[in-house]
Amino acid sequence: MKQHRALCVMVAIILLIFPLYAQGKTERQEPLVVYAYDTFTGDWGPGPELVAEYEERYHTTIKLVGSGDAVSMMNRLIAEGKSTPADVVIGITDDMASRILDSNLLTPYQSPLLGEIPAFLHFDESHRLLPFDYGNYGFVVDSEKLERSLWPTSLADLTDSRYKNKIILIDPRTSSVGLGLMLWTIEEFGDGWLTWWEAVKANVLTITEGWSSAYGLFTEGEAPLVISYTTSPVYHVLNDESTRYQALIFPSGHQATIEGVGILASSTKQEEAQHFVDFLLSDAQENIAIANSMYPANASTALPAAFDWAPKPPRSLSTDRTRLEKNLERWLTEWTEVMSR
């Protein structure tokens, strides 16, 4: 009888302890949640490969979440606020950083890798956004659809009627690439930037919500010119062994862009998040540069010869952050009014 009672007590204790043990085990196995824009997380982006490498090397689990274009991703984060499940966010660009920084959703992290990143790429002195790659916006031309004598040599050229229905653009309200072009025209034309948009509107085949759809239409042959990056041809050289798609370099300069990675202040996995960020800024840099067709932030990263097809503009343009913060909403409103007329 006593043995039976003792056995019952032991079973009861096990039943009490096991759920707690199982719960703790589940909590330890919860993945690190990483938000990134769709082209980063897609099959041809760097995300899947670098996550697989990280998981295998460090025996941890990463949940990579595609969140639309960079602007859509940022809007999602801000809407979720402190209740966001994200631990890390990848792809907030310098030209839209102020809004996410003002939300106080990110926490500072001075990675030991920052010393290997050139000073001109450090766009956030608070170290809440750390640069992981960079490049310049530019127009890419389909050399089989547009003869070389017709290739534009400036933004102003694109307003010529010979480019009617030959240009694919992206909405600056939903895309960092679209926003980059809008800021580029502001830097290039000053107070006359809206005049350029009014004129170019007649030549635009379509304006998409994101880069993926715009570039997809371009490679499908819908139009011979698309707003993208000066580094975009690298992808085609590496993957298609083709130089059909080429970047147009304008002597007056191109708007620069820097992509950053940040850690959410609300994350309960701060050490794990920091370790993952360090990986992005070191071992993952070559993979990111090749798959993203962007320049790596870490200056020690070796690049393949295909980057010879990513010509650097003679001049990089950027918009002063204070001016950007003060005027961005007004600029977007004015752009919308012009393009919807």
CATH number at residue 123: 3.40.190.10
Question: Is pLDDT above 90 for 23?
Answer: no
**Buried/exposed code over 302-324 (b: 16+ C-beta within 10 A; e: otherwise):** eeeebbebbbebeeebbbeeeeb
pLDDT in tens, 257-298: 999 999 999 999 999 999 999 999 999 999 999 999 999 999
Tell me whether residue 20 is in a domain. no
- Return the C-alpha torsion angle 4, 6, 10, 15, nearest 10: 60
Considering the domain architecture, whether residues 200 and 285 belong to the same structural domain is answered as no
**Buried/exposed code over 32-64 (b: 16+ C-beta within 10 A; e: otherwise):** bbbbbbbbbbeeebbbeebbeebeeeeeeebeb
Provide the token pair at 286. Answer: 């070559």
Please state, in angstroms and rounded to a whole number, the distance separating the CA atoms of residues 135 and 247: 12
Provide the token pair at 41. Answer: 């997380």
Considering the domain architecture, whether residues 240 and 325 belong to the same structural domain is answered as yes
Considering the domain architecture, whether residues 246 and 164 belong to the same structural domain is answered as yes
Tell me whether residue 269 is in a domain. yes
User: How far lies 67's CA from each of 81, 85, 131, 195, 307, in Å?
Assistant: 15, 13, 19, 33, 28
User: How far lies 96's CA from each of 67, 75, 184, 210, 290, in Å?
Assistant: 16, 11, 14, 15, 24
Considering the domain architecture, whether residues 161 and 175 belong to the same structural domain is answered as yes
Beta carbons within 10 angstroms of residue 126's beta carbon:
11
pLDDT at residue 269 in the model: 97
pLDDT in tens, 29-65: 699 999 999 989 998 899 999 999 999 999 999 999 9
Tell me whether residue 317 is in a domain. yes
Considering the domain architecture, whether residues 179 and 287 belong to the same structural domain is answered as no
pLDDT confidence tier of residue 69, bands split at 50, 70 and 90: confident
Mean pLDDT, rounded, of the chain: 92
Considering the domain architecture, whether residues 209 and 336 belong to the same structural domain is answered as yes
Tell me whether residue 24 is in a domain. no
Considering the domain architecture, whether residues 215 and 245 belong to the same structural domain is answered as yes
Tell me whether residue 10 is in a domain. no
Please state, in angstroms and rounded to a whole number, the distance separating the CA atoms of residues 211 and 171: 9
Judged by average pLDDT, the poorest of 22-26, 83-87, 187-191, 298-302 is 22-26
pLDDT at residue 341 in the model: 87
Considering the domain architecture, whether residues 55 and 108 belong to the same structural domain is answered as yes
- Backbone angles phi and psi of 286, in degrees to 5: -65, -45
Please state, in angstroms and rounded to a whole number, the distance separating the CA atoms of residues 167 and 139: 9
Question: Is pLDDT above 50 for 120?
Answer: yes
Domain that holds residue 37: 31-134+257-309
The whole-number average pLDDT for the span 151-167 is: 98
Considering the domain architecture, whether residues 252 and 164 belong to the same structural domain is answered as yes
The whole-number average pLDDT for the span 66-87 is: 94
